[in-house]
Amino acid sequence: MSIVDCYYAPPLNRNLITLSAILPLLIVIPASARTDCSEVMEEKGQSAFNHCVLVQHEEDIRDRIDTNNERIDDKRDDIKDMFEDYIDDAEDYKEDLDLAFKRR
């Protein structure tokens, strides 16, 4: 089965093929964008290496902070949606009770 044959297969197979083609690019590009501190040490010396390590450490911390902030925002949205659902359910229940009392 060639790639062209797989493309005309069910949607799940097409998505897997597309994902397997794009995923390596998403991994390789950010990895190559960062500088290798060992190369900096060979070219510019120990102080430049220390600075490079510090900058990479700060970038990692910023990335973790951004990830945690995104998780917090997602959790906040989930909790907000959950309480809105509770309020909607309570209002629906109240309307059902009002209709039941009106029918008596």
Q: How do residues 29-65 score in pLDDT, each as one tens digit? A: 555 555 588 888 788 888 888 999 999 999 999 999 9
C-alpha 13/C-alpha 36 separation (Å) is 37
Contact 68, 76 (CB under 8 A): no
Report the share of the chain in percent with pLDDT over 70: 66
Q: Is the pLDDT of residue 26 over 60?
A: yes
C-alpha 30/C-alpha 24 separation (Å) is 11
Q: Is the pLDDT of residue 10 over 90?
A: no
Confidence of residue 99 (pLDDT cuts 50, 70, 90): very high
pTM score: 0.49
